[in-house]
Amino acid sequence: MFREAVIEALTRALGADAAACGDLGALLAPPPKVEMGDLAFPCFALAKSRRAAPPKIAADLAAAIQDAGLAAGGAIAEVKALGPYVNFFADPVAELQGLCRAVADGSFFAATRTAAPQRVMIEFSQPNTHKVFHVGHLRNVAVGDALVRIFRARGHDVVAANYYGDFGIDVAKCLYQLGTGQQGSPPAEGRTAWLGEAYVAANAPLAVAKKKIEEAAAAEDDEAKQAAIAAHTAIFAPIRAVLTALETGDPETMALYRETRQWCLDEFARIYAWLGVQFDHDFFESEVEEEGARLVDEYLAKGVFVESRGAIIADLEADGLPVALVRKSDGSSLYLTWDLALARRKFDEFGIETSIYVVGAEQTLHFQQLFAALAKMGYARAKDCRHIAYELVMLPSGKMSSRNGTAIPLHELRTRVTDAIRAKMEAEARPERAAWSETQWQATIERVAIACLKYGMLKVGTTRRVIFDIEDWTNPEGDTGAYLLYSLARIAGIQRKAEQTVALDADVPAGSGFGNDAERALVGHLQRYGAEVARAEETCDPSGLAAFLFDGAKHFSRFYQECPVLQAEPALRKARLMLAAATQAVFTRALDLLGIEPVEAM
RNA sequence: GCGGGCGUAGCUCAAUGGAUAGAGCACCUGACUACGGAUCAGGAGGUUAGAGGUUCGAGUCCUCUCGCCCGUACCA
């Protein structure tokens, strides 16, 4: 309403110049501070055609709009020039009324829908079985799940897909180590972490041997290099034998594989359930492995792939990319091989239009090669693939590594975070919690803990590293998930104590005095929700929504501090209760897009 | 070497090419007989790595230089 009124007033005042400005709506933006108004129009572009300085143009426009009268609809309360800008003030009561009505009838949230919905597959998480699931993997899940929710809010038909790394040489390493008997027997709890340890143990001597080969090669010592290669081969041979046993379906190996794989899948399912993350489809490397091998044969025959140094490659020089290996010289396939087969299946079997991969930035080249290879194979859909790269999770002490034990396994993380939250909550008694059962305590603690973890992972832009500091994320007074939930708990507190509830589709009373800066800032902020959702989808980065929530929570806190709700005069009290309810609705929905559930009290 | 990412307050991060570059943490000073102090208000803290360029306007775009990180065929 207000926005439309501003555009209309500007169009009239600009006259012939309106066309020269282009899309007026795109030029309008909120000023840096509420005191300056609700929407501002910059006059720089008019300087040439009007042959005047922008501040003069702004003053002229403001006067013209003032003279024409602001009465139309009453949405614009005031217009004034401020430097090179024409600033418009919305009528606060009309704004609040419009916001509440839109939230009540659903149009506020329906407005986030795009005009061009697509069928989109978002692949994320991709955990490896037989390895530990740690904090670093949490960022992928948080980002991927948020993108699924954001794309759905935009009206897209989304298939959330997981792709389990349950096959290949790393699995063989783990199984080999178990076969040596050195790993002992599995513990009752933490069996997947135990498998991860087995993998690390098997990998260690290989890594050492590999390093020796590189050192000899760097020193150009041919004799030493041959010896190092021989040593590596000796260590690797029995592991390769396990992989062969897997590929050929040796019964004993398969039995061990199936059992240990299932432990991991069960563990992943528990993690996703805890995080509230759901997938529509599960892919497994083990199911595309054979298909990948056939695909290599097929395109080798067609001449798309060629032999090189005993291996099979895709020559991507035309795309300015290094050669991509699709089959090793020992005949086994690779990650890229499987991804080629998988990409084909995604398009052919799921009818999707856009294929999104949420994978770490260190694999950027892999995806460039994957998409280029698909194009070379004649897959026009290659252009509909997109890699969302996100940076690493670091610890305050530096890079985390599962080898030296600094990567915190998720089951351990969970207890550490919930313990920290519980301690914080128990430090101060609250009447709301007096009658809580242990189940209620636990459920609330888990929600706060997950809010802290997900918000911590999402508030930083995907191109930047995240530093995971358990103290900072759980026990601060500041920019955390707990602060967001605290705002909602306060709103719930007000509502508990208000005798009657106020409907969002009620009339906002006139003449209540509603409309101070704190109130106007909060209303104005909530109106930005739709634009933030759209931007999060365009950039495939949920961090803007996280910032929207944090800024919103700060606006609410200021409102809460300055504007008593329950003790205000009846008319003002009603308006403020409505604002609180609208804030609650918008925050709850925005949190949902980040995969975070609110609490009534904490 | 080549390709990509990053460089903003002591630290961690924001800023569709627009107004005086903003938050949180840490530090300092204040605040309510009040709906939740996990709060709020204020202070201090900046040559946006450096140098050119484009633009009415650059932290943002272009060129070069410096620094850190990642990748660069038989790992995933």
Residue A380 has pLDDT above 70, yes or no: yes
CATH of domain A410-593: 1.10.730.10
Average pLDDT over residues A38-66: 90
Bases of chain B within 7 A of a CB of the protein: 3-6, 12-16, 18-20, 22-26, 34-41, 56-57, 69-76
Residue A441, both tokens = 């305590």
The pair of structure tokens assigned to A202 is 């098997």
Residues found in chain A: 602
> In the prediction, which pLDDT does A189 show?
79
Cα angle A419, A422, A424 (rounded to 5 degrees) comes to 110
Q: What is the mean pLDDT of chain A?
A: 92
Q: Which residues of A486-512 are buried (b: 16+ CB within 10 A; e: fewer)?
A: bbbbbbbebbeebeeebebebebbeeb
What is the CA A518 to C1' B30 distance in angstroms?
A: 20
- Mean pLDDT computed over A551-562: 96
Closest alpha carbon to C1' of B6, residue: A464
Model confidence pLDDT, tens digit, residues A90-119? 999 999 999 999 999 999 999 999 999 999
How many Å from the CA of A329 to C1' of B74?
Answer: 6
Using the CA of A30, which nucleotide's C1' is the nearest one?
A: B19
Nucleotide B16's nearest residue (CA vs C1') is A535
Alpha-carbon distance of A261 to A281, in angstroms, equals 18
pLDDT at A71 over 70: no
Distance A547 CA to B23 C1' (A): 10
CA distances from A563 to A36, A215, A517 (A): 20, 69, 10
Q: pLDDT tens, A582-593? A: 999 999 999 999
- pLDDT of A73 reads 66
- Could you please state the CATH topology (level 3) that the domain comprising A2-90 is classified under: Gyrase A; domain 2 (3.30.1360)
Helix (H, G, I), strand (E, B) or coil at A516: coil
Average pLDDT of the segment spanning A249-261: 95
Sign of the torsion formed by the C-alpha atoms of A106, A111, A117 and A120: negative
Give distance CA A483 / C1' B27 (Å): 22
Using C1' positions and the CA of A560, the closest nucleotide is: B35
As a whole number, mean pLDDT of residues A46-57 equals: 87
Protein CA at A113 to nucleotide C1' at B15, angstroms = 26
Contact A586, A552 (CB under 8 A): yes
Instruction: Name residue A57's amino acid.
Output: I
C1’ B9 / CA A557, Å? 25
What pLDDT, on a 0 to 100 scale, did the predictor assign at position A72? 60
Note the pTM of the prediction, 2 decimals: 0.95
How is A50-118 classified by DSSP, letter by letter?
HTS-HHHHHHHHHHHHHHH-STGGG-EEEEEEETTEEEEEE-HHHHHHHHHHHHHHSHHHHTT--SS--
Asked whether A547 and A61 are in contact (CB, 8 A), the reply is: no
Q: Around Cβ A142, how many Cβ atoms within 10 Å?
A: 27
Distance A191 CA to B71 C1' (A): 33
pLDDT at A94: 94
Q: Which nt has its C1' nearest the CA of A477? A: B38
pLDDT of A216 strictly over 90:
no
What's the CA A69/C1' B52 distance, rounded, in angstroms?
50
Q: Is pLDDT at A365 greater than 90 in this prediction? A: yes
* Nucleotide lying nearest to A561, CA to C1' measure: B40
Residue A333 per-residue DSSP state: B
Domain ranges across chain A: 2-90, 124-395, 410-593
A456-471 mean pLDDT: 94
Q: Which residue is nearest to nucleotide B70 (CA to C1')?
A: A362
**Range picked from A2-6, A157-161, A288-292 for highest mean pLDDT:** A157-161
pLDDT for residue A20 is more than 80: no
Specify whether the CB–CB gap between A563 and A514 falls below 8 A.
no
Answer positive or negative: Cα dihedral of A288, A172, A242, A205: positive
> In CATH, what class is A124-395?
alpha beta
For residue A6, what pLDDT is reported? 92
> What digits encode the pLDDT tens for the residues A397-446?
888 877 677 788 898 899 999 999 999 999 888 999 988 999 999 999 99
Q: Minimum mean pLDDT among A72-81, A258-267, A511-520: which range?
A: A72-81
Mean pLDDT calculated for residue range A136-144: 96
Nucleotide nearest to A81 (CA to C1'): B19
Res. A227: pLDDT tops 90: no
pLDDT in the model for residue A223: 83
